[in-house]
Structure 1
Amino acid sequence: MGTLLPRAIEQLGVEFTFLTRAPEHYARQQPPEEMHPLLAGRAVVTADTNDLADGLRAAREIDADLRIDGVLTACDYYLPLAAHISSALGLAGPSPDSIADACDKARTRVTLDHAGLVGPRHRTVGLDDEVLLRAAADEIGYPLVVKPTDLCAGMFVRRADSWTDVAAAVAQLRSFDINARGQKREPVVLLEQFLDGPEFSVESWVHRGRVHSLGVTDKSLGGDSGFVETGHMFPAHLSPEDRSALIVTAEQAIAALGLDDVVVHTELRLTGDGPRIIEINPRPAGNQITELIRYVDGIDLPSVAVELALGRDPSSTGGSVCSAHRSSSRSAAVSMLVPHRAGTLTSLHGADAITDHPAVVSATFKEPGHVTASGANNNSYLGNIIALADESGAARRVADDLLAGLEVTIVDTRS
């Protein structure tokens, strides 16, 4: 979202001020001759955005000087702060409580349980309480999923087939108590029943209590953990009955959390007993899913997010419809290049053929010299390609076949 939200803001003719604790973080992400889109607004204001009081103080000063009409964030870890600012200034947006329930995976489970939505067996346990951890794991049964409650991008989500696996996953979580944005982490872990079945997401937006769902995206998983997202296709190739069931379940979960005036990306698994919620993200989907929708339906979800933050109804303004980018294709897919090992990328053979392929509308790869970890989470990609197809459900095969022809060389450069 760090590039897509600024693009959407510009296309809607709106200006933005960027509030951040570390502008240098974004400057480092671009080549020296380029400016990161988040730094290209009308102003950059520095404050301790990890401190609610200081974030609110800075926002009120900006509002007094320039007037704030809406609040958005490009980072999952600042969704709670954005909700508090919009609430404090009387602006449109989801309530701080609904965002807190959605962003904390343990609170999400409790809220959905209270609403009567069937989900996996689960327990939240302190990281240092081995007795309760063992008891919770035995109660849930193996296989199970070990999941941090407050991280994103699939970080440190692990399948456990035994207590040894649980202990190893918990030990990893104990090894750090600060997230990537310098925020103190909750010293707990969520243990969940492993849900068997393909994974999907429902892309929606909510305005004044009414949920609008655009469709269902499919997902492929892999990487070292088995939970790294390796590709997506929109729309998912599903029966009408399965598609409807996924959407109904997602919309019930959104209502249970009380989310409003926000774009929502709901992840589910389609089990033998029906759809089950994995998690609910109160922001536009990542990993190019919003681009897939834009190519197929001409709807730009980052623009929808901007309009909702401004208190507008996206279904009536027309600003979220990007006909210039809508294609005649009935299927769009992204395939992610996941590193097979840690080390330094030395070569990518076949990238030019992918870029020149008529079905490919976007191909982005890391340059040789890039140092990578192994494919442990959704932050470790070496690139991705987006392909279109005229036949419904066909784009995934095109994208995956093209990526399979890429020869990747990674060397171990550790001393």
Structure 2
Amino acid sequence: MTTPLADYAKFAGKRVAIVEHMQNHPFVLGLHQAREHGLEVWLLTGDRDWYTHGHDWDSHPLAAAVDRVIDVDTTDVDAVLAAVTGEDGRPLVDGLTSFSDYHTVLAARAARRLGLPGPDPEAVETANVKDRLRVALGDVPYNIPHRLVADEGQLEEAARALGFPMIAKPPAEAIGYGVRRVDDMTELVEAFRELSGVRRSLRGQPRSGEVLLETYVEGVEVSVETMTVDGHTHVFGVTSKDLFGEPAYIECGHTFPVPLPDDEREALYGVVRATLEAIGYRHGPCHTEVRRTESGWRVIEANPRTPSSCMTMLVTDVTGRSPILDAWLLALGEVPPIEPVVHNGGAAVRMLYPKRRGTLKRVDGVEAASAVPGVQVLLHVEKGDKLFQRMDNSSCVGFTYCNGPDRLEAQALADKAAGLLDFVTEEEEEEAGRP
């Protein structure tokens, strides 16, 4: 990942509080880069074990990437405020934000109460709670018909209204958790019973058990990476989204930038800007997922944060702008010099998933994969970690990343490196050793 071209000298002497954090390599690297430019970083967390998975905190990459860790209930806005407020009632930080879907609303509320820069909390909540986004968009052609159901007795009417196939998902989750396609009434009932039984989010917040149903729209899905400053949305570009695992939708790779004809690109940017305007989102980064259908672009989700899964690396290496660092500038009340955005080359990332469940013993092929030209192997598991095969992105164990002359060559090299890696479990070796 190249060093951003912009001057981030405005970080010097400033302090930012981050409510929880992404664990992927780009976000840790962003912390180091910001601190190199003089930014002091406080991490507010409710559970260090969520990051370490039983390992020692002091050896975790985040421990060396922040200046201070504050253990606090990050689901309680008053507790967060108390952690960053002095005895005189004034904030001890110059900015407060979050890139975690589960904490962006709380961070926006805390920043507003402290008088610090930040997005409208209602806009963030409207984006995060997916049925509210659908209601806010109304009858525009790029919305998707939906029903929010609270009990099984509502399923028949929803099926008549939406038809099959449809998508069933929790109204407020991340990483593709719980999202699946249903093709008939039997699958719909099964999906509802499973999802309605989930009463806690992946980060422990209470959930109502409601299930969001949406008409399935066929098409190629992309994401648009943006930064909104004082109501004007700047576009970094378009990212591809490769998926596998139907009926679930798990991300397995991305490339940047996706070339589009001028008319399609302008229509897509118009849809994204109109979506953010509709919910009142006037300040901050956003990762908006959109699907190209026969009838035009359809908005899948709007995520008011920087993108994950190394997509910030894609943007930075191709444009010279860091969405992470730019977002922190905004949180401090500074205006990042985003435009004009110029694309130079292309980049790709492949997400790695284990072929087997079990306890990781070793990773074979790292040296060979790292030797592929232009490729970085970025793993976030180590010996002794449990490997899962879940129906969401949380089972990802790392990435192969490549920055190249164009996105397709970068993708081919990242794919080649990914094919050389094998995650060997203790259970697998025990099975192989049995007579």
**TM over 0.5, yes or no?**
yes
Q: Cα 1:349–1:334, aligned 2, differ >3 Å: closer, same or farther?
A: same
Distance 1:62 1:15 in 2: 20
* Structure 2: tracts of 5 or more residues without a match: 1-21
State how 1:242-261 maps to structure 2 within 5 Å: 242-261=264-283
Greater CA deviation, 230-239 or 147-156? 230-239
Distance 2:284 2:87 in 1: 23
Residue 347 of structure 1, CA deviation? 4.9
What do residues 364-395 of structure 1 show as CA deviations (whole Å, max 9, x unaligned)? Answer: 36345432221411110122100122135432
* Structure 1: tracts of 5 or more residues without a match: none
Residue 173 of structure 1, CA deviation? 1.7
Q: Is the 8 A contact 1:224 1:376 kept in 2?
A: no
Distance 2:287 2:54 in 1: 26
Matched, 1:280 2:305: no
Residue 37 of structure 1, CA deviation? 2.3
Match in the other structure for 2:354:
339
Q: Cα 1:374–1:86, aligned 2, differ >3 Å: closer, same or farther?
A: same
Residue 30 of structure 1, CA deviation? 5.8
TM-score norm. by structure 2 comes to: 0.85
Distance 2:408 2:65 in 1: 38
Matched, 1:391 2:415: no
Equivalent residue for 1:104, pick from 129, 133, 146: 129
Matched, 1:83 2:108: yes
Distance 2:385 2:69 in 1: 29
Distance 2:270 2:182 in 1: 30
Q: Which amino acid aligns with 1:94?
A: P
State how 1:337-376 maps to structure 2 within 5 Å: 337-364=352-379, 366-376=381-391
What do residues 164-219 of structure 1 show as CA deviations (whole Å, max 9, x unaligned)? Answer: 21222222223331122221013211001111111100000011111100100001
Match in the other structure for 1:268:
290
Residue 352 of structure 1, CA deviation? 1.5
Q: Which amino acid aligns with 1:107?
A: R
Match in the other structure for 2:145:
121
Match in the other structure for 1:60:
85
Match in the other structure for 1:142:
164
Match in the other structure for 1:189:
211
Residue 362 of structure 1, CA deviation? 4.1
Match in the other structure for 2:18:
none
What do residues 15-66 of structure 1 show as CA deviations (whole Å, max 9, x unaligned)? Answer: 1222222244445576565244267544333332212333333343488476
Residue 245 of structure 1, CA deviation? 2.4
SS in structure 2 at match of 1:138: helix
Matched, 1:234 2:249: no
Q: Cα 1:82–1:5, aligned 2, differ >3 Å: closer, same or farther?
A: farther
Q: Cα 1:399–1:131, aligned 2, differ >3 Å: closer, same or farther?
A: same
Q: Which amino acid aligns with 1:359?
A: G
Residue 162 of structure 1, CA deviation? 1.1
Q: Which amino acid aligns with 1:391?
A: D
Q: Which amino acid aligns with 2:352?
A: L
Q: CA RMSD in A?
A: 2.8
Using the aligned pairs only, state the percent identity. Answer: 33
Q: Is the 8 A contact 1:26 1:39 kept in 2?
A: no
TM-score norm. by structure 1 comes to: 0.88
Distance 1:136 1:62 in 2: 53
SS in structure 2 at match of 1:159: strand
Q: Is the 8 A contact 2:147 2:212 kept in 1?
A: yes
Q: Which amino acid aligns with 1:125?
A: V
Match in the other structure for 1:296:
318
Distance 1:277 1:181 in 2: 26
How many equivalent residue pairs? 405
